[in-house]
Amino acid sequence: MTGEHDPRRRGRLPRVAGRTIGIITSAGWSIVFIASIISGPDAQLDEESSWYEGTILVAMVVLNTAALASTFVKESLGSRILIITAIAFGAAAIWMAGHNHLLAAGIAGGPYLVSGVLIAIAGRSGHR
């Protein structure tokens, strides 16, 4: 039997793509946070609202990264959690964005949403 009919191989590409997208997105947000810590507070922003928004942003990234990590342990449940946290991250971005709400949601939650959907597709096709 060749590998092309093996159900475990069928879900490999979406699984690897989804996890890669999620890892790159988490790494990108980590770089943003580190750069923000190094550069210090922005004098033009309101400190109180900036602190709340920053805390929400960090919490959402941590939740999405934890959900991504859970896909390595329990793929089906982890992908569902990742999709839910990605939607929540997009909603939080819409709430925090001054303008361009859809762009903010797409940048914040979009990559995690794509990652979760790809991993869910892989889980259904590979039954892993």
Residue with tokens 């949403």: 113
Q: How far is CA 35 from CA 31, 38, 87, 111, 117, in A?
A: 6, 5, 25, 21, 30
How many beta carbons lie within 10 A of that of residue 75, not counting itself? 22
**pLDDT for res 54:** 81
Residue 8 reports pLDDT greater than 80? no
Question: How many residues appear in the chain?
Answer: 128
Query: Could you give the count of Cα atoms lying within 13 Å of 104 in the half-sphere of its Cβ?
Result: 15
**pLDDT for res 1:** 47
pTM over 0.75: yes
Number of domains in the chain: 1
The span from the CA of 23 to the CA of 28, in Å, is 9
pLDDT in tens, 57-95: 899 999 999 999 999 999 999 999 999 999 999 999 999
**pLDDT for res 16:** 94
Question: Could you tell me the pLDDT band of residue 51, with boundaries at 50, 70 and 90?
Answer: confident
Domain membership of residue 91 as a residue range: 3-39+46-126
Residue 45 reports pLDDT greater than 80? no
DSSP assignment, residue 74? S
**pLDDT for res 111:** 96
